[in-house]
């Protein structure tokens, strides 16, 4: 560039540079020229600083024909302030051009004249960035080789800086106005598209990830850029969260939807759409996201920070994203079938497919309150015990003394060869649970779930409760919801609780506080019935109110015509007798 600038005018040199980068967009043209200028200027500045004391720098100066003059350092220092200011303005202008080039104009239908006007201004802006770089180079080389007065060079640089600043101000103003029109169009288009019937999901996804790029997504495994066409004919789950979502929450989602690369033809895929609190991502959000995305095997946005503000606004206003993770489900035609399937996925995993509200209702109709549902596949060892037909006893408390008493009494039962397994599952407060867990481990009190698995356990319970409430179930009328609410209440953790049940049995006994300890203390009394009624039946017998001896109570019910046999005649008056059935208490 230096040699070209010596013998041509700034305009002709700029046009020559334009020809050499003609295959690139106007924004990228400016970027290439800025990089070339920065490298050239930086190299000269480094050589001039060091060539009096560094042999290598001196050799480079001789190769480039730089005269060995002490005043060159002061000349460069005088030029550096306007040069740096000019370079900053050129960078700002280039950024504005690049921002325009990624606008999704193709999805908005903005009128041709407005777009053409913006493109004209972009072309002029790119030209002036390149011309300024050429002029800067020309001023530097003239000062070094032709001994031009440095004052005129400084004046020329300040003049260029003000021109570029003026161009940037007006371009930014026009760009902001143009972008606002685009954003409004995107939101309107999205609402309109989601209300229509489509042949596939491509239009909806293209508008949703509205970027002027053919590959807006990235594969979590291969890290390759991909287009929305990889999602055609599939259910698409949009996992929307903060970029700094907690590691525990992300791991829970990954466990519930375990990725298997062998199942490339699966009927659904997931796209992670991270949305920050503010428009600009904070440093902590960027850092957290970069570490978390290494764990993510599905698809995600290639440039999440470039997501349209209108799309973000739409997700917040229409899909009700307020910070907590949600999973919006689109069917293979792009229709929203669930605004948040995260609860049903957390409960039933793949069984919840196709992840619609209708499917969620079906699953609750089929579902019963069982130990198998509560544990799911969170801890394989418990599932193994269930397969061995052992009675599972889950317990939780924030009171370590209650836990000590419980485990002491349960050991007396297990010593009597009763096939039960006692497992500590903590409470909702993870800090308290962490302290309790360390005591249980150190004192070898009982089996326990690892801390992360305890988090998974309580997260699933909360998901179950939310799901039930969202579908309109009432705590008073629904046994399942009533039991969940009791477990999730703070008072249960304070008192301590014990759940006793088998794998698929609907018979689960919940005991709390002193009631639980008192019942277990009476094992010598009711334990003898365990072989006859099972441990659950024996416990229920012990909890039942005492029977009054010889009550002699009886109940008589009228006959049913269909089961009437031969007529019966009264032995006293010979009249026909009506048939009744009598039940009488046999207690003595």
Predicted pLDDT of residue 570 = 65
Rounded (5°) CA angle 9-14-18 = 150
Alpha carbon 182 to chain centroid, angstroms? 27
Confidence of residue 4 (pLDDT cuts 50, 70, 90): very low
pLDDT of 1 over the 60 cut: no
The model's confidence at residue 181, banded by pLDDT at 50, 70 and 90, is confident
Q: And the tokens for 314? A: 């739409």
At 416-463, the pLDDT tens digits run 777 888 999 998 888 899 999 999 999 999 999 999 999 999 999 999
| 82-91, 291-300, 482-491: range with lowest mean pLDDT | 482-491
pLDDT per position as a tens digit, 95-132: 999 888 877 766 556 667 778 888 889 999 999 998 88
286-342: pLDDT as tens digits: 999 999 988 999 999 988 888 888 889 899 999 999 999 999 999 999 999 999 999
- Percent of the chain whose pLDDT exceeds 70: 81
pLDDT band at 571 (very low <50, low <70, confident <90, very high): low
pTM score of the predicted model:
0.73
For 423: left if phi > 0, alpha if psi spans -120 to 50, otherwise beta; the answer is: beta
pLDDT of residue 244: 92
Strands 235-241 and 225-226: unpaired
Nearest to 162 by CA among 80, 100, 93, 94: 93
Give strand pairing partners of 509. Answer: 500
Q: Output the CA torsion 210→211→213→214 (10° steps).
A: -10
Mean pLDDT score of the chain, rounded to an integer? 82
Q: Is the pLDDT of residue 163 over 50?
A: yes
Answer yes or no: is pLDDT of 6 > 60.
no
Please tell me which residue, 192 or 41, carries the higher pLDDT value: 192
Q: Crossing angle, helix 112-145 and helix 10-20, to 10 degrees?
A: 120
C-alpha radius of gyration, the chain, whole number: 38
DSSP 8-class letter at 572? T
Supply the pLDDT for residue 335. Answer: 93
Which residues have C-beta within 8 Å of that of residue 35, sequence separation ≥ 6? Answer: none
Q: Please give the span between the terminal C-alpha atoms of the chain, in angstroms, as a whole number.
A: 113
pLDDT digit string (tens) for 463-478? 999 999 999 988 888 8
Query: Pick the residue with more confidence: 255 or 492?
Result: 255
pLDDT for residue 255 is more than 70: yes
Are 465 and 471 in contact by the 8 Å Cβ rule? The answer is no
Strand partners, 235: 268
**Which of 191-200, 205-214, 327-336, 570-579 bottoms out in mean pLDDT, i.e. has the lowest?**
570-579
How many alpha carbons lie under 13 Å from residue 115 in its C-beta half-sphere? 12
The pLDDT of residue 273 is: 94
Q: What percentage of the chain has pLDDT greater than the value 90? A: 30
């Amino acid at each position: 560039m230096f040699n070209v600038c010596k013998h041509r005018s700034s305009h002709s040199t700029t046009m020559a540079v334009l020809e050499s980068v003609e295959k690139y967009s106007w924004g990228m043209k400016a970027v290439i020229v800025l990089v070339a200028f920065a490298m050239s200027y930086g190299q000269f500045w480094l050589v001039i600083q060091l060539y009096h004391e560094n042999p290598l720098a001196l050799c480079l100066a001789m190769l480039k024909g730089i005269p060995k003059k002490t005043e060159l350092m002061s000349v460069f220092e005088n030029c550096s302030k306007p040069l740096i200011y000019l370079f900053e303005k050129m960078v700002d202008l280039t950024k504005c051009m690049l921002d325009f080039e990624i606008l999704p104009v193709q999805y908005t239908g903005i009128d041709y004249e407005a777009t053409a006007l913006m493109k004209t201004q972009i072309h002029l802006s790119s030209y002036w960035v390149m011309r300024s770089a050429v002029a800067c180079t020309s001023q530097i080389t003239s000062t070094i080789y032709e001994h031009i007065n440095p004052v005129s060079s400084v004046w020329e640089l300040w003049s260029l800086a003000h021109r570029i600043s003026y161009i940037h101000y007006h371009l930014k103003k026009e760009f902001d106005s143009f972008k606002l029109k685009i954003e409004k169009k995107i939101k309107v288009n999205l609402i309109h598209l989601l209300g229509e019937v489509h042949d596939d999901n491509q239009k909806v996804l293209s508008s949703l990830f509205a970027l002027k790029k053919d590959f807006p997504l990235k594969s979590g495994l291969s890290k390759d850029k991909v287009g929305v066409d990889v999602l055609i004919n599939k259910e698409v789950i949009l996992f929307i969260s903060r970029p700094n979502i907690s590691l525990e929450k992300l791991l829970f989602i990954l466990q519930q939807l375990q990725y298997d690369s062998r199942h490339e033809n699966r009927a659904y895929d997931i796209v992670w759409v991270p949305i920050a609190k503010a428009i600009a991502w904070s440093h902590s959000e960027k850092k957290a996201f970069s570490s978390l995305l290494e764990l993510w095997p599905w698809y995600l946005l290639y440039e999440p920070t470039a997501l349209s503000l209108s799309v973000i606004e739409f997700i917040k206003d229409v899909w009700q994203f307020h910070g907590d993770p949600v999973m919006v489900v689109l069917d293979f035609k792009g229709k929203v079938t669930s605004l948040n399937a995260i609860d049903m996925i957390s409960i039933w995993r793949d069984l919840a497919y196709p992840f619609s509200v209708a499917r969620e209702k079906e699953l609750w109709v089929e579902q019963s309150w069982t130990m198998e549902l509560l544990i799911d596949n969170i801890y394989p060892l418990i599932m193994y015990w269930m397969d061995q037909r052992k009675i599972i006893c889950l317990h939780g408390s924030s009171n370590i003394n209650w836990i000590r008493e419980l485990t002491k009494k349960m050991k007396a039962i297990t010593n009597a060869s009763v096939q039960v397994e006692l497992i500590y599952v903590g409470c909702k407060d993870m800090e308290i649970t962490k302290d309790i867990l360390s005591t249980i481990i150190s004192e070898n009190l009982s089996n326990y779930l690892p801390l992360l698995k305890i988090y998974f356990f309580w997260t699933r319970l909360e998901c179950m409760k939310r799901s039930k409430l969202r579908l309109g179930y009432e705590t008073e009328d629904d046994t399942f919801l009533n039991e969940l609410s009791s477990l999730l209440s703070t008072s249960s953790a304070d008192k301590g609780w014990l759940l006793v049940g088998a794998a698929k049995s609907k018979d689960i006994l919940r005991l709390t506080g002193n009631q639980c300890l008192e019942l277990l203390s009476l094992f010598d009394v009711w334990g003898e019935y365990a072989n006859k009624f099972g441990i659950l039946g024996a416990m229920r017998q012990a909890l039942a109110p005492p029977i009054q001896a010889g009550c002699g109570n009886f109940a008589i019910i009228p006959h049913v015509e269909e089961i009437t046999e031969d007529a019966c005649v009264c032995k006293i008056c010979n009249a026909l007798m009506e048939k009744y059935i009598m039940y009488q208490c046999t207690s003595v």
